Amino acid sequence: MCNIFREKDDTLNLFPKYHVYCNNNKRYLLSAKKCDYNLTSKYIVMTEKHVTSNFIGKIKSDFMGLEFNAYNNGKHIKYVKNQKDNKEEDARKIYTTIKYVS
């Protein structure tokens, strides 16, 4: 069983961090931090609690918050296409999509 804990920040709790622990809170698994200055929900998924440079992927939602996509840590496709030395394999890929329907 895994548990998710929310860590509040100093600024009105606008950018919280989430930590996932397994086996009765003994084993740390991963963390997610909400990104600043975005119109939609966007989280960085990390393997360490407080190091944002060591991320393994991103989770982004659409404007309504009804569809979420999980990406790896590759480059955005428009940056890969605009630069000649980048390869198509460097572009980020979608791992999964979650859609809420009624």
- Which CATH number characterizes residue 42's domain? 3.20.90.10
Q: Could you report the per-residue pLDDT of 71-100, keeping only the tens digit for each? A: 887 777 677 666 666 666 677 787 888 788
Angle formed at CA 61 by CA 8 and CA 82, multiple of 5 degrees? 115
CA–centroid distance for 51 within its chain: 13
Structural tokens at position 58: 């991103």
Q: pTM for this structure? A: 0.65
Q: Quick one: pLDDT band at residue 61, thresholds 50, 70, 90?
A: confident
- How far apart CA 83 and CA 88 sit, in angstroms, is 11
Share of the chain above pLDDT 70, in %: 82
Residues of the domain holding 86: 2-99
Instruction: Decide if pLDDT at 52 tops 80.
Output: no
Distance, in Å, from the CA atom of 91 to the CA atom of 102, rounded to the nearest integer, reads 33
Q: Does residue 39 carry a pLDDT above 80? A: no
Whole-angstrom distance, CA of residue 58 vs CA of residue 80 = 17
Region 13-25: what's the mean pLDDT? 82
How many domains does the chain fold into? 1
Q: Give the span between the Cα atoms of 67 and 98, in whole angstroms.
A: 6
For residue 50, which of 18, 13, 24, 72 has the smallest C-alpha distance?
A: 18
Mean pLDDT of the chain: 78
**Residue 8: is its pLDDT beyond 70?**
yes
